[in-house]
Amino acid sequence: IVGPAGERCYYFSLRCGTDTASVRITDLCDWWSCDLDLQALEDQKRSYADETPLDRLLQTFVDCFEETAASDAYRFELAPAEPGHSLLLCLELTEMRMEFRCVRTAEAERAIRVRDE
């Protein structure tokens, strides 16, 4: 995904459990992450009055990430949430917008990620 104002390329991963969703973002220099638990997911659903069962909604996220959903039904957008500290990854669906406010990982964790990735 191209970052804010064409700034650079970012890579992201999405992992969904039965009632959680996690996003990891990197530009290969820094890493950001966001974990949404059941309450955070339900809060965002509620703000759009979305009645989709959570397991089906999480499967929709996966389908969008894997590009198996119709390309006109969703889009990912990356924007700065707080300059220099956070990134906001949005998944815009036809009926709602899911926001992942990703925070920069701690310095100690960055070294581990450089090694592992």
The pTM score is: 0.78
Report d(CA 38, CA 42) in Å as an integer. 6
Instruction: pLDDT tens for the chain, 117 residues: list them.
Output: 655 566 678 888 999 999 999 999 988 888 889 999 999 999 988 888 888 899 998 999 999 988 888 888 898 888 876 766 688 889 998 888 899 999 888 765 655 655 565
Number of separate domains in the chain: 1
Give me the phi and psi of 54, to 5 degrees please. -60, -40
| Cβ atoms of 81 and 87 closer than 8 Å | yes
| Cβ atoms of 69 and 60 closer than 8 Å | yes
Say which CATH number the domain at 28 has: 2.170.210.10
Three-class secondary structure assignment of 59-105: HHHHHHHCCCCCHHHEEEEEEEEECCCEEEEEEEECCCEEEEEEEEC
Q: Note down the domain range covering 89.
A: 4-116
